[in-house]
Structure 1
Amino acid sequence: MINKGIFVKASMIILILACHLFTSCKSTKIGSNKTSEKPNIVLFFVDDMGWQDTSLPFWDRKTPYNDIYRTPNMERLAKEGIKFTQAYATPVCSPTRVSLMTGMNAARHRVTNWTLHKDVLKPQEINHKKLTFPDWNVNGLSPVAGINHSVFATPLPQVLHDSGYYTIHAGKAHFGAIGTPGEDPINLGFDVNIAGHAAGAPQSYLGTENFGNGMDDKKVWAVPGLEKYHGKDIFLTDALTREALLSIDTAVQDKKPFFLYMAHYAIHTPLYADKKYVQKYLDAGLDPKEAKYASMIEGMDKSLGDIMDHLAENDLVDNTIILFMSDNGGLSAHARAGVPHTHNAPLNSGKGSAYEGGIREPMIVKWPGVTQSNSETDEMVIIEDFYPTIIEMAGIRQPNIQQTIDGISFVPMLEQSYQKPSELRPLFWHFPNHWGPSGPGIGASSSVRYGDFKYLYYHLDERKELFNIAEDIGETKNLIDENPEKAKALEKILSDYLRKVDAQFPINKETGKKTPFPDESVNS
């Protein structure tokens, strides 16, 4: 005879197990994927955003520029995570984006300038009066071997996709030239591509202008794939955010961890007024160009807030990492109101420059359960560090990667128990190219940051500079003659690295000779 007590207990156990398996006995939010072992990862990447294009200070004090802009959601994210005050990218966009996607320094991957047309140097490089520029990788990143003038590497989204992530690209791509595999983010391991293509800027930010589509002479810059918003009164930043949130919903409904690369076209030129925000800046007395710029910054910040709100509404906060970063320093050489090269002061110069204004970025990381709320670090990181960091965050061990990785994971820096290493780490920049505009620190150059000091070497005239960044953040006093021993030490560190990666250099048209390594130059 069956024992009724045992039968009842067994039935209850089965019922409890069923509830755990199917979650039908417990009310849950539809979007929740908290049961996923892997964290969701959002990389919020802004275009041309300077170190001070925010109300959140990344220095030991607020600056006048921090008082101009309104970025409450950056402030909100920083209060929930850790702020990096010495985060670096490259002076221009494509080198940064390729370093991000490969973990390689620009000197190694050789995508050292911005990409667009296949197999073609920039007109400003072809027509340069004094330098012949090297045959750099104008075609950008390639996920397959054998593409001329490109770097073959395993892209970060491919590594994440192969590990089970639903990978979402939203916004600016600018990884590869037109007609090459790297042009399409789908070829790089993204499951979804929202509006990404070869161009690095939009023709228009307005849905009422179809984001530039229909202008035959400008079609290379027209933003693709947002036809549902054509003719509508919507700003590009908002349209991208809406589509990104829809893709997040798809991922969580499929119970997959997601990687969202939210790569806004903003705040890159052309400067457009986001009418939701611009009037307050005009009323405050800003020049119309600067009011447009400020409105684009606030709209970008609103996108960050919308994503954070969406995560909260769908019970995803505790299992989602958010990283905030920009691709190069703030624009200052052209298109802005006021005096050029001053829009990032006290940092010197801006986008395109080897000075701090061209390479130092606003960076924030929030990792629930790991980062300490409202904390900050002055540890130095550089853009190629994001590749090994995100792979480590995702819990991926020994991924099958084609390329040599220069970046170092900054995961230990996020932990409260982190202790600074005893050995200093050098950071390297190499730009054997011509960007276009002229200005302080703009031009073909190589440089290294080592501890408090930064050494710069210019390819055209072999001129050298040394600055103590800790004491002179504006790079106003060249110490090359005052401290020759330090200059020699950094010169050797830089030269040895450039030899190691077989870095390219331009040729001087007057002498017919290639620019020598820094420690071989006539000024050494």
Structure 2
Amino acid sequence: MNHLSLSLLLLLGWSSHPIFTAEQPNVIYILADDVGYGDLSCYGQERFRTPNLDRMATEGMRFTEHYSGSCVCAPSRYTLMTGKHIARARAEGQGQQLRHEDFTIAELLQENDYATAMIGKWGLGGHTGRPDLQGFDFWYGFLDQRRAHFHYPEWIWRNGEKETLPDNPTKRDQHTQDLFTNEALGFIRDHRDEPFFLYLPYTLVHAELIVPEEYEKPFLGRLDDKPEKPKPYRILKNGYNRPRYRHAAFAGAMTFLDRDIGKIFDLLEELRLDEKTVVIFTSDNGPHSEGGADPRYFNSSGGLKRGKGWLYEGGIRVPMIVRWPGKIAANSTTAHPSWFPDVFPTLADLCGIEVGHEDRDGVSFARTLLAVGEQKSDREMYWSYNRHRAVRQGKWKLYRFYENFDDTTRFKQALYNLDRDPGEESDLSANHTELVERLAKKMNSLERWK
């Protein structure tokens, strides 16, 4: 057992006062936008390849039962930043605004001498929720969802100031994917000599599928595309801009995203930060069908039911890969059920920071990552969105759909055994009435209408 593992055994529940003398790791948390469970080739995608993410999986740990905090982006990001499930938020939908009293993982790391940056799509408010008021020393990108899904913007935020990009929507010189990656690489270089936390919520592959020709071109004529008539590029007018060849554009967008994962790993290797840096890749929810996307064609849900906007597995089960050379076993896979609220306590543990867990709903999965001690896995996970509710405990998941917004007495629900039925095809509620009653009681206790 190495020194770090021994320290972590003490940290992860064997001592109320953690002893952690190993060097604190850097953390890079990459959050893709609307990438489905089946959109990575290491998760079964067959129509295109994601070689850099595949490499990440062979050098790290692939999670097969990781969940976002919601089936849409803003509430998912709330659960990620705070370590709390969505019933603790002031709203369950897209209108999220963090308050001053909310305490984020970025604030925790900032208080413990980490340089912190948010580069990409924030989605948690532009007033009290602004990134610089929630623990980030530097931020660059978009505050909300409205402009974030147009990839050739006329301006972008830099630390609260609008940075103009003249004629970008017409000339299409600067794609946000390039802008975000260049800023991320610069932040890593600038902070190579101190611990840093880089939160990198990319906007690919949502929502318009407009990418540089070099990424779309390799797929032309290969993916059953029917050409669509192009229109002038517009922002916030007449919906999302659609590509001429939507299948080639989606495959190109995933290739574009994957390219930049490789750039990050190349820089870490160049700066000799590989073994000092935990890198996490995941997605904020399941796949969408906006802007020309075709999740059925690509099997983006990976055989799971539904997609974005639903609390079936296809809407909330997402790919997650964690890489930390020398600490996390290479080419490993885990079926440990985890979700976004778990990230807060997990990063605290990996960074050697003691934090009270009484006001958070997440459970650290650091034991799973480092193969030390016994991992807690029997707690409940909860989701709510619109008229949908879901609770998972162990292999069991209770799904509920209300017929009306203002009537909690009229609903349909089903019980699924996810070990045997990840596609949620067989309702077992009639055979397990006591289990349904127990999970329903938990669900009811969190219901916002009660």
- What TM-score comes out, normalization by structure 2 length? 0.82
Which ranges of structure 2 fall in alignment gaps of 5 or more residues?
1-20, 226-244, 404-409
1:241 corresponds to 2:185: no
SS in 2 for 1:370: coil
Take 1:463 and 1:342, find their aligned partners in 2: how far apart are those partners? 27
> Which of 363, 366, 381 does residue 427 from structure 1 map onto?
381
SS in 1 for 2:220: helix
> Which of 365, 369, 378 does residue 322 from structure 2 map onto?
365
Letter in 1 for 2:34: D
Q: Deviations over 1:221-280 (max 9, x none)?
A: xx954649955634221221011111111112xx32111111101111012133222122
1:41 corresponds to 2:27: yes
Whether contact under 8 Å (2:207, 2:291) holds in the other structure is: no
1:53 corresponds to 2:39: yes
1:455 corresponds to 2:434: no
Q: Deviations over 1:24-78 (max 9, x none)?
A: xxxxxxxxxxx99221110011111110111112xxxx3xxx1013211111111
Take 2:317 and 2:286, find their aligned partners in 1: how far apart are those partners? 6
Bigger radius of gyration among the two: 1
The aligned counterpart of 1:464 is 413
Aligned residues: 399
Whether contact under 8 Å (1:333, 1:341) holds in the other structure is: no
Whether contact under 8 Å (1:350, 1:357) holds in the other structure is: yes
1:105 corresponds to 2:54: no
Which shows bigger deviation, 295-304 or 373-382? 295-304
Task: State how 1:89-488 maps to structure 2 within 5 Å.
Answer: 89=68, 90-115=70-95, 139-142=96-99, 144=100, 152-176=101-125, 178=126, 180-182=127-129, 184-199=130-145, 201-202=147-148, 204-206=150-152, 211-213=153-155, 225=163, 227=165, 230=168, 233-252=173-192, 255-287=193-225, 288-332=245-289, 335-337=292-294, 343-398=300-355, 404-421=359-376, 424-431=378-385, 433=386, 444-460=387-403, 461-488=410-437
Letter in 2 for 1:451: G
Take 1:103 and 1:338, find their aligned partners in 2: how far apart are those partners? 30
The aligned counterpart of 1:438 is none
Percent identity over the alignment? Answer: 31
Take 2:154 and 2:364, find their aligned partners in 1: how far apart are those partners? 39
> Which of 54, 57, 64 does residue 78 from structure 1 map onto?
57
Runs of 4+ with deviation above 4 angstroms: 228-232, 338-343, 418-421
Give the aligned CA root-mean-square deviation in angstroms.
Answer: 2.7
Take 1:286 and 1:159, find their aligned partners in 2: how far apart are those partners? 48
- What TM-score comes out, normalization by structure 1 length? 0.71
Take 2:255 and 2:298, find their aligned partners in 1: how far apart are those partners? 22
SS in 2 for 1:328: coil
SS in 1 for 2:306: coil
Q: Deviations over 1:180-199 (max 9, x none)?
A: 221x2111111111113133
- Give how far 1:301 is off: 1.0
The aligned counterpart of 1:29 is none
Letter in 1 for 2:183: E
Letter in 1 for 2:59: E
- Give how far 1:213 is off: 4.2
Which ranges of structure 1 fall in alignment gaps of 5 or more residues?
1-34, 116-138, 145-151, 434-443, 506-515, 517-524
Q: Deviations over 1:143-167 (max 9, x none)?
A: x2xxxxxxx3112111111111110
Whether contact under 8 Å (1:80, 1:372) holds in the other structure is: yes
Take 1:264 and 1:169, find their aligned partners in 2: how far apart are those partners? 10
Task: State how 1:507-522 maps to structure 2 within 5 Å.
Answer: none
Which shows bigger deviation, 90-99 or 472-481? 472-481
- Give how far 1:325 is off: 1.3
- Give how far 1:354 is off: 0.7
Take 2:255 and 2:190, find their aligned partners in 1: how far apart are those partners? 28
- Give how far 1:172 is off: 0.5
Take 2:23 and 2:295, find their aligned partners in 1: how far apart are those partners? 51
